[in-house]
Amino acid sequence: MKAYAKLNLTLDILDVRGDGYHELRSVMQQISLHDTVIAKKTSGTGFKFICKSGEIPRDGKNLVCKAALKMITEYKIDRGFSIKLVKRIPVSAGLGGGSADCAAALRCVARLFKIDVSAERLIEIGGGLGSDVPFCLFGGTARVSGAGERLERLGAHPKCCVVVARPPVSVSTGEAFARFDKSEKSGRTDATAAMVRAIEGGNLKKIADSLGNDFLPGAIAEYPAVGGLIECMRQNGALNSSMTGSGPSVFGYFETYAGALGCVKKIKSKFRDVKEIFAARVINGGAARGFADE
């Protein structure tokens, strides 16, 4: 099963809630960059996790393992099974790779054991495992609010391509929130509302113009490579460019795949230390049955 990466087309950070989390508003979009999750029955009992990536923890911190154990407990699974994860989405990059893997693992286990679970219930389970997991189950294009638990389906995103590049820096989400809380917030706009209108209108240029991320000013100040990649994309054919999540990955909008590939080539020649760069397409998920496309 494919576990698609996500982009935050917008990310508006609001007040801190009573539970200590910030209230967020975002438009999230799946893209064709994906990991692969495969579940198989095994002899005996228990669960085995298989992944060749050295960046993925094998203990209880791993969201795939959390998903498997949650399904075992929730549905009293007494058969042995394994989950194999093939990683392509960069780790800790703001692309939701761990959440996408978690969502795919939940669905794989449900399918493997023919568990009759509604999309709503699976999204509820996913929300208890990670804030981006509900969207990764939902898929496509959606307005997301709260701490990630409130989802609203948006219309089909116009066909286009994106270039995603991860600069060689590490970003702590907690530190990103701390920088934002200390920053000057005057002049901020409701990027999410503008993005929703642009998507409803189906105009790719207006969608690109509506990109916004409240973490971006702080990220550019802290990590000059973020701003450098954004400017490079804009100078090499992107309709616009922004950052996803708390970073550090940035992305640019392109009308054609050829244009996206041209920008990839330019970035590779100019930013030799950027090793993770991809051209991808937007995914309009299969919302009719409540789940993302596979």
- Identify whether the C-beta of residue 7 lies closer than 8 Å to the C-beta of residue 212: no
Specify the 3-state DSSP secondary structure of 271. Answer: coil
- Identify whether the C-beta of residue 251 lies closer than 8 Å to the C-beta of residue 280: no
- Identify whether the C-beta of residue 255 lies closer than 8 Å to the C-beta of residue 239: yes
Pull the structure tokens for residue 201. 């209108």
Closest CA to 6 of 23, 39, 30: 30
The dihedral region occupied by 261, where left means phi > 0, alpha psi between -120 and 50, and beta the remainder, is alpha
Active site members: 6, 132
- Identify whether the C-beta of residue 88 lies closer than 8 Å to the C-beta of residue 100: no
CA dihedral angle for residue 231, residue 141, residue 106, residue 73, rounded to 10 degrees: 110
Specify the 3-state DSSP secondary structure of 71. Answer: helix
